[in-house]
Amino acid sequence: MEVSLYSIAIFFCFFIFSVQSSTDSDNPSEIIIRFQQYLQINTAQPNPKYYEAADFIISQAKSLNLGYETLEYVKGKPLVLLKWTGKNQNLPSILLNSHTDVVPVEHHKWKHSPFDANVDQLGNIYARGSQDMKCVGLQYIEAIRRLKSSGFEPIRTVYLSFVPDEEIGGLAGAQSFAESEEFKKLNVGVVVDEGLASPNENYRMFYAERSPWWLVIKATGLPGHGAKLYDNSAMENLLKSIEIVRRFRASQFDLVKAGLKAEGEVISVNMAFLKAGTPTPTGFVMNLQPSEAEAGFDIRIPPTADTTSLERRIYEEWAPSSRNMTFEFQEKTPVYDKFGKPVFTATDSSNPWWALLEGAVKKANGKLGKPEIFAASTDAHYFRDQGLPAIGFSPMANTPILLHEHNEFLNQAEYLKGIEIYESIIKEYTSYIEPTSDAVSREEL
């Protein structure tokens, strides 16, 4: 009996030693530590530490012998591009995109410091960017680490782009990149970008997104005494417009509440600011009706919407000149690409990349919900504008949607599972040869 116990003890010690002697980089604890290190780099707008983030990404590339370069379309805003070279560089490549910047935080409203990446007793990693979207960028890298460790060699080349400024529009990042000569040389065939967490067991896949139209409506009128009732005062006209807009918003929201449409399929309108009154050092003048008043609205439009009808509604109902009103767009993202087609990615047989991603997720024991239109906007639309298929996907199931909220977190088990999902996706994508293509057959590779 003593010999048996001794043998078991020796075996157990050997097993532990073997596990510890295996590549530390594949260790779950080491994987989580690298994620925490990335999260601890404060890349919050408006002063993100972009170079620190770039150095970290490049260090990961070096550890995996990946190619890397830094592009800088705007000084101080580096874009890091990694490359895993495939065996057949004539085939269109795969681009896995993520952004390095995150939105600002109100530190005092977090239960854990937003840039400490604390892990609680449930395994939840609290940090700004844990969902949006530093998780995805590091999962790409960790998935490649696993594939390289297994000896897998891609047929297609894979690029990983870590872009700046997504949270403030992407002009210095994805937009400049997608329109550049450098991008054209990559011969990209499909782009994978961010999605959203899912509160249930089904991962979410996005084939399109709503375009932002940021509208400012301004009303003018004669100033007057605060006690007098005027027709067509600036405030009265603006309030009429706000009420008309509110009714439109309610009609769209009712479709969502009734389950007739998903949130991404309706036009959303939310008032972002209201500006009026005559200020003084101690407040506002109370007995003076202002001569100007304005309001700002964040409008989000799905690619299926009738934009001509919406614009007519704006100048006839929301801001009619007959009520001394004008309007302008601070942002007006087109819902059509440069070819004049609605900006969305096909989910049918015409787009093999969609089916490949679905199959890869299922092979990794993941479940999928139905295809969706992203309610907000991401960098993916810049690549769709170029006529490329772009799929929004972030493997976070059974997770509350906390992007841009206080106490953003991602459970470490869900993060690790997401790496397996991307490993499956990258393997499927980089091994794919079009059935009817004249490209070199598998036997010749």
DSSP 97-144: EEE--B----GGG-SS-TTT-EE-TT-EEE-TTTTTTHHHHHHHHHHH
**CA 438 – CA 36 distance, rounded (Å):** 45
Which of 332, 350, 383 is the last residue before a domain boundary?
332
Claim to verify: residue 97 and residue 186 sit in the same structural domain: yes
Within-domain flag for 97:
yes
Within-domain flag for 22:
no
Within-domain flag for 278:
yes
**Residue ranges with strand state E in 221-369:** 224-225, 268-276, 279-280, 283-284, 288-289, 292-301, 325-332, 367-368
Claim to verify: residue 352 and residue 315 sit in the same structural domain: no
Determine if residue 404 is labeled as part of a ligand binding site. yes
Which of 280, 314, 332 is the last residue before a domain boundary?
332
One-letter identity of residue 185? K
For the stretch 363-397, pLDDT in tens is 999 999 999 999 999 999 999 999 999 999 999 99
Provide the residue range defining the domain that includes 103.
28-208+342-444
129, two tokens: 């960017």
- Indicate the DSSP class of residue 80: E
Determine if residue 263 is labeled as part of a ligand binding site. no
pLDDT band of residue 24 (cuts 50, 70, 90) is low
Claim to verify: residue 79 and residue 184 sit in the same structural domain: yes
Give yes or no: 101 in active site. Answer: yes
Claim to verify: residue 325 and residue 219 sit in the same structural domain: yes
Claim to verify: residue 268 and residue 230 sit in the same structural domain: yes
For the stretch 130-146, pLDDT in tens is 999 999 999 999 999 99
Active-site pick, 142, 165, 166, 209: 166
55, two tokens: 């150095």
Within-domain flag for 90:
yes
Within-domain flag for 387:
yes
pLDDT band of residue 11 (cuts 50, 70, 90) is very low
Supply the mean pLDDT for the chain.
92
Residue with tokens 């054209």: 184
Claim to verify: residue 198 and residue 225 sit in the same structural domain: no
pLDDT band of residue 235 (cuts 50, 70, 90) is very high
Q: How many CB atoms lie within 10 A of CB 215?
A: 22
Assess whether pLDDT exceeds 90 at residue 14. Answer: no
Claim to verify: residue 41 and residue 173 sit in the same structural domain: yes
Backbone Cα Rg of the chain? 26
CATH assignment at residue 149? 3.40.630.10
Q: What is the pTM of this model?
A: 0.86
Cβ neighbours of residue 304 closer than 8 Å, sequence gap 6 or more: 265, 342, 373
For the stretch 240-278, pLDDT in tens is 999 999 999 999 999 999 999 999 999 999 999 999 999
CATH assignment at residue 297? 3.30.70.360
Within-domain flag for 3:
no
Claim to verify: residue 42 and residue 104 sit in the same structural domain: yes
Tell me which residue of 74, 66, 84, 30 sits closest to 50, measured CA to CA. 74
Claim to verify: residue 376 and residue 423 sit in the same structural domain: yes
Within-domain flag for 105:
yes
Active-site pick, 2, 55, 72, 101: 101
Claim to verify: residue 389 and residue 317 sit in the same structural domain: no
Determine if residue 99 is labeled as part of a ligand binding site. yes
**CA 305 – CA 81 distance, rounded (Å):** 35
Assess whether pLDDT exceeds 90 at residue 125. Answer: yes
Give yes or no: 379 in active site. Answer: no
Rounded to the nearest angstrom, the gap between the alpha carbon of residue 360 and the centroid of all alpha carbons in its chain is: 21
Claim to verify: residue 396 and residue 415 sit in the same structural domain: yes
Claim to verify: residue 69 and residue 131 sit in the same structural domain: yes
Tell me which residue of 55, 149, 172, 154 sits closest to 96, measured CA to CA. 154
**CA 418 – CA 426 distance, rounded (Å):** 12
Within-domain flag for 15:
no
Number of domains in the chain: 2
The H-or-E segment that residue 220 falls in is: strand 211-220
Cβ neighbours of residue 324 closer than 8 Å, sequence gap 6 or more: 219, 220, 221, 232, 234, 237
Phi, psi for 72 (deg, rounded to 5): -140, 90
